[in-house]
């Protein structure tokens, strides 16, 4: 038996790295029948024990308990959750200021998931070389908002290695993940952070301004700064999973103190009398965009 880390998953085969070796391994069916509503019982970043077969492949015998993971609601009509990456020290949500346009709602859903699943989160706003004067003011406002909430915000241009030095330093010696829509430049950032890693970059579709997928499967990459990065396929939507309406506000840092003043323990902070969060919002203590994100998420999970 050999312990290793899953560095790539294609759905049927898993690449497991143990020491300096990589073994293509399969997962026995019993792991898929444990009653959990999950599309992938194993995710990149998982630690597993494998046994070796005569043909040189491996069989996964045991999945070690995760310290944390990033998940989202399964898509394409499937039920349950889809785990994007496991055992992370930090996760970065990547957005571009243009081509495609930044989506604040995506950022907020990502941050809520990180809070819920105990993953340290940071924000990357890429393609700042495309920013207009109006964009620059918007970026400065976003930086102020999220940094006040305790999140580090990086502004990046993947074509400028010097611009990426703070981000590169932040990733040194830890396991992190890039998560965001297609076309925002995740793989371009990676290629500049670690020039030894080279992949074909997808072009942005001029018709839809949405990126073509270049990363097909999540993969764990060893960086030359001592860190590891999970590079994930682009995702259009980030649906919340397994979060109850009454607990959603627990994952908004700015609502933690005001919610203690709510009259009801299960307050949803919409229409209930004596709501501390609504009072804080009306007094300008909670950003309007963030409160609107909260309402949209609440509706999406049945609140």
Per residue in 107-151, pLDDT (tens digit) is: 999 999 999 999 999 999 999 999 999 999 999 999 999 999 999
Per-residue pLDDT at 35 exceeds 60? no
Per the CB < 8 A criterion, the answer to whether 170 and 204 are in contact is no
Contacts of 148 (CB under 8 A, 6+ apart): none
Per-residue pLDDT at 208 exceeds 70? no
Strand partners of residue 2: 50
Per the CB < 8 A criterion, the answer to whether 11 and 141 are in contact is no
The secondary element (H helix, E strand) that includes residue 161 is none
Per-residue pLDDT at 209 exceeds 60? no
All structural domains of the chain: 2-65 (2.40.50.140), 70-231 (3.40.50.300), 245-300 (1.10.40.50)
> Per-residue pLDDT averaged across 202-206, rounded?
31
- Cα distance from N-terminal residue to C-terminal residue, the chain: 47
Q: Which residue has the tokens 């649906």?
A: 239
> Per-residue pLDDT averaged across 42-49, rounded?
95
Model pLDDT, residue 76? 60
Per-residue pLDDT at 204 exceeds 60? no
CA distance 167 to 223: 13
Task: Specify the 3-state DSSP secondary structure of 126.
Answer: strand
Per-residue pLDDT at 68 exceeds 60? yes
DSSP string, 58-99: EEEEEEPPPS-EEEEE--TT--SEEEEEES-SEEEEEEESTT
Find the range with the poorest average confidence among 70-74, 129-133, 207-211, 216-220.
207-211
Q: How confident is the model at residue 78 (pLDDT cuts 50, 70, 90)?
A: low
Mean pLDDT for the chain overall: 89
Q: Is 158 exposed, middle or buried (0-12, 13-18, 19+ CB in 10 A)?
A: buried
Residue 241 tokens read as 């999973």
pTM for this prediction: 0.89
Residue 10 tokens read as 């294609």
Model pLDDT, residue 210? 42
CA distance 262 to 265: 7
Evaluate the CA torsion angle 177, 15, 68, 107 in order and state its sign: positive
Per the CB < 8 A criterion, the answer to whether 258 and 213 are in contact is no
Q: Which residue has the tokens 């499937």?
A: 78
Contacts of 289 (CB under 8 A, 6+ apart): 104, 145
């Amino acid at each position: 038996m050999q312990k290793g880390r899953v560095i790539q998953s294609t759905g049927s085969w898993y690449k497991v790295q143990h020491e300096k070796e990589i073994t293509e391994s399969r997962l026995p069916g019993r792991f898929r029948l444990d009653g959990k509503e999950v599309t992938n019982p194993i995710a990149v970043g998982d630690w597993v024990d494998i046994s070796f077969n005569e043909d040189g492949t491996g069989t996964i015998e045991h999945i070690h308990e995760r310290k944390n993971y990033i998940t989202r609601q399964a898509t394409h009509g499937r039920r349950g959750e889809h785990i994007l990456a496991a055992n992370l020290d930090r996760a970065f949500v990547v957005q571009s200021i243009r081509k495609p346009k930044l989506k604040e709602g995506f950022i907020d859903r990502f941050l809520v998931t990180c809070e819920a699943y105990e993953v340290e989160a940071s924000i990357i706003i890429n393609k700042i070389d495309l920013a207009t004067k109006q964009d620059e003011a918007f970026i400065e406002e976003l930086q102020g908002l999220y940094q006040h909430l305790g999140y580090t915000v990086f502004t990046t241009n993947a074509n400028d290695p010097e611009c990426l030095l703070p981000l590169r330093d932040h990733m040194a010696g830890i396991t992190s993940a890039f998560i965001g829509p297609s076309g925002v430049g995740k793989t371009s950032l990676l290629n500049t952070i670690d020039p030894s890693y080279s992949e074909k970059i997808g072009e942005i579709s001029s018709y839809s301004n949405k990126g073509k997928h270049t990363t097909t499967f999540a993969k764990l990459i060893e960086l030359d700064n001592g860190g590891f990065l999970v590079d994930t396929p682009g995702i259009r939507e980030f649906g919340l999973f397994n979060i109850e309406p009454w607990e959603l506000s627990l994952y908004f840092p700015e609502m933690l103190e005001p919610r203690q003043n709510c009259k009801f323990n299960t307050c949803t902070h919409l229409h209930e009398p004596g709501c501390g969060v609504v009072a804080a919002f009306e007094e300008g203590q909670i950003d309007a965009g963030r409160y609107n994100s909260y309402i949209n998420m609440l509706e999406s999970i049945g609140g």
